[in-house]
Chain A
């Protein structure tokens, strides 16, 4: 199938993009990497009259350290996250998740901001933004605002973004000497969306968990933090017993939906297996 006819513009700055959207009476869409939007247009799931191309805006580019946070410009491509030393050093969890995002050619175009804006519950980066307690910087014609990842993902493909708003950057607190991270997912084929995936960002001191955030993907309409599991592990050492108990807590806390391939019970079981693996890796510090 082919996309319906539309107009196309490439604004020079974010302000111009915002104004173009405002003038379009809601009949417009931003396009960044286009790796999700173009198929949606081809399938006519969406048919906006105007595409506003934000992929080349300088204001949305770049990786830098600002105020103890790694600032990730919204149009930073997945391949740039994967190849960046800055990310490896300051946001190791993102570096670990990046190889699991789609296939190489899609990583060459898809953007970090686009992934968060779309908020596919099976996507890696939205869940990792949650695990990292990232701050999402948003521009609108009224000005700029910041929303914590915990308040950003609202429902299936629904975020705190209002129509016409643009994610300009995402700020991730930088890793410290105490930081330990782990990511993994289970998928039928590498590059496919995961059946279940999870990432952990923890602060550990002398073998004890000082603070832990765990976020799952593909277990519900949004990425999911499992706070009961986090609480159960805080202040403890990651002994085999503590890990087993955490897996039991997860079994009661998580209420995943089923789909035609994966009944809820199987998904919950796989999530427990995954949690055990990840906690084992944190303990071994690998």
Chain B
């Protein structure tokens, strides 16, 4: 029992074929098998949000699924989002606004923020806090993170208006 299973998925746009033990979580697969350590693990039970990645473009917890379940899917990690420059503006404002201190929660925060802003809307502060309810930060007190996401949403709207 419990032999390894062949899976094929894309991670950050690259096709990956691998043999995994069914009990390996997607988080452990990313961090240990393919050395993408930007995805953090904290609670490993869906509570802290440090492990968020995009699965078919939606934020999910990499600790709450097994790598075998991602077979045939598209996974994108904080590394992928960074390399394709999808969150340059968010990262810049996080930096300017001091929205990170130790940085442990930051990859998860950025993936959540990507999800919040993906709809193109401009959520209010309550809406942003609500959407971040599954992301723990032990350093910043959240205020600066909410500021940064709010500011990025505004900048993106202004940008769109200038283009139009």
Residues of A at under 8 Å CB distance from B? 1-8, 10, 31, 34-35, 38-39, 41-43, 49, 51, 53, 55, 79, 102-106, 108-109, 189-192
Contacts and interface: CB of A to CB of B under 8 A. Distances in A.
Interface string B50-84: 00100100111101111011010000000000000
Contacts, number: 93
Interface of B: 1-3, 5, 21-23, 25, 44-46, 49, 52, 55, 58-61, 63-66, 68-69, 71, 112, 115-116, 129-131, 133-134
12 contacts: A2-B25, A5-B22, A6-B2, A35-B61, A39-B46, A42-B45, A55-B69, A105-B59, A105-B112, A109-B65, A191-B133, A191-B134
B133 A189 contact: yes
A39 to B, nearest CB: 4
A141 to B, nearest CB: 23
Contacts of B133: 103, 189-192
Please report whether the interface of chain B is mostly helix, strand, loop or mixed according to DSSP. mixed
B23 A38 contact: no
Residue of A79, A105, A189, A192 with most chain B CB atoms under a 10 A cut-off: A105
Given A8-B68, A49-B1, A105 B61 contact: yes
B55, B116, B133 pick with most chain A CB within 10 angstroms: B133
A94 to B, nearest CB: 19
A35 B23 contact: no
Contacts of A38: 25, 46, 63-66
A247 B40 CA distance: 47
B114 to A, nearest CB: 11
A91 to B, nearest CB: 22
The interface centre, meaning the residue of B23, B55, B58 with most chain A CB atoms within 10 A of its CB, is B23
Q: Identify the 9 closest CB pairs spanning chains A and B, nearest first.
A: A103-B134, A191-B133, A8-B22, A5-B2, A39-B45, A108-B58, A105-B59, A3-B23, A190-B133
A35 B55 CA distance: 14
Nearest to A35: B64
Contacts of A6: 1-2, 22-23
